């Protein structure tokens, strides 16, 4: 994992929504752990794990798409319009992550 640069925080508008989603997933995961410890039904546990997995996956997708839209935009802005097509195609395909 790369080191964080605390001198210049790397923050995007989507980060607060991602944090909120991950905190909600964290709380949900803690409740799933309790379900397992209490011996709850495996189907119920699997269903809840699926919900947490989807929430984390959506947070990842949002982060990646935000990175592409904002962090790579400086590089792309130097390109001619015709040279942007591969990046636009890349943006589109990341929606299927």
Q: What are the extents of the domains in the chain? A: 15-94
* 94's tokens: 């990341």
pLDDT at 3: 46
Q: Report residue 65: phi and psi, to 5°.
A: -65, -35
- Alpha-carbon distances of 25 from 16, 30, 74, rounded to whole Å: 14, 9, 33
Q: Are 38 and 75 in contact (CB under 8 A)?
A: no
Q: Which of 84, 94, 88 is nearest to 64 (CA)?
A: 94
CA distance 74 to 71: 7
Q: Report residue 64: phi and psi, to 5°.
A: -65, -45
pLDDT at 7: 59
How many helices and strands, by DSSP H and E, does the chain display? 4, 0
pLDDT at 96: 79
Tell me which architecture the domain covering 15-94 has in CATH: Up-down Bundle (1.20)
Which among 17-31, 55-69, 75-89 has the top mean pLDDT?
A: 17-31
pLDDT at 1: 46
């Amino acid at each position: 994992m790369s080191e964080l640069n605390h001198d210049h925080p790397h923050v995007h508008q989507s980060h607060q929504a991602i944090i909120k989603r991950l905190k909600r997933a964290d709380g949900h995961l803690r409740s799933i752990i309790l379900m397992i410890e209490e011996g709850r039904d495996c189907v119920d546990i699997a269903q809840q794990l699926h919900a947490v997995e989807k929430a984390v996956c959506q947070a990842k997708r949002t982060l990646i798409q935000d990175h592409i839209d904002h962090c790579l935009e400086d590089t792309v802005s130097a390109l001619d319009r015709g040279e942007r097509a591969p990046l636009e195609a890349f943006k589109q395909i990341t929606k299927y992550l």
